[in-house]
Amino acid sequence: MYNIVLIPGDGIGTEITESVTAILDAVGIDINWIKCKAGESAQNELGNPLPEETLEAIKEHRIVLKGPLTTPVGAGFRSINVALRQKFELFSNIRPAKSLPNIDSPFREVDIVLFRENTQGLYFGKEHWVDENEEHAESIAVVTRDASERIITAAFEYAKKHNRKKVSLIHKANILKLTTGLFLKIGKEIAPKYPEIEFEDLIVDNMAMQMVLNPQQFDVIVTTNLFGDILSDLASGLVGGLGVTGAANIGDNAAMFEAVHGSAPDIAGQNKANPTALLFSALMMLEYLEEFRMAERIRSAVYTVLQDHKEECTQDIGGKGTTKSYTDAICKFLRD
């Protein structure tokens, strides 16, 4: 039995986590879910968006499946997602984007895995006011050799393990010569250790254009925190959006798997939410646990439903169904 912390999150979080746990139950994986609170709902209920009980549960069990959390814009508490990544040194944010059957997109045969450094860069949170009137703010980007080496090595190791052919390192070293320049320098030092894998580097603005012109040319991508946040969403857009792409945050001693889309409070409680993104994150969790056969069974069931039973799918991915009908269809194939 696996003890896994479950954070349903805000908005549609409760509905999609119920869907995903039902699907995992249908495939027969033995999981003891330790339910915990975080985000806006925790703030409203407990006066703390990241309760100590949640932190203690993660420290003890080290694996988390997390639904979407609401982060206030411009004011209020800082992102709990960022806080958890930094607290538990979840340095590697892994975001696959793969074309799915019967999902509306102008792109086909996209199969990208993006590695984003998760603890530094502009998201490090080193901000301050320069003046007393709060009319001049500064933010400091942090890039270190240690953090760069571990994320770039993680990308190459993934490529090696999964028979990927190329790693593309994304930077802005022509302008940010010290920070992303260091990142690029370290990438060029590490690449020769993997002679079987092609290595290239691209400036981030050119990369954004190339991903739209010809996404099939990319395989594994590795980059810094802010660039990775932007490009991973772009990659999701190539295959149907954030609603169909999973995400993992992995460190040396803990791992968190999450839906990266918003909490969608406007449709919460209406049986409309699409659980695919969180489900694919849960499949990454199963693979992390080396439950590869279970993960593949669920993936096959999802592909079958998308291809042959589209009417059961939620409306955002072209179906006529609900969260429940989509979940039930996947569970039926697993049980049959």
Those residues with Cβ within 8 angstroms of residue 143's Cβ, 6 or more apart along the chain or in another chain: 120, 121, 178, 179, 180, 182, 183, 224
Q: Which of 35, 59, 177, 205 is the catalytic position?
A: 205
Is position 123 annotated as part of the catalytic site?
A: yes
Is position 111 annotated as part of the catalytic site?
A: no
Q: Which of 123, 201, 310, 326 is the catalytic position?
A: 123
From residue 112, give the alpha-carbon distance in Å to each of 65, 97, 109, 190: 22, 5, 10, 21
Is position 172 annotated as part of the catalytic site?
A: yes
Is position 303 annotated as part of the catalytic site?
A: no
Q: Which of 37, 172, 310, 326 is the catalytic position?
A: 172
Residues designated catalytic: 123, 172, 205, 229
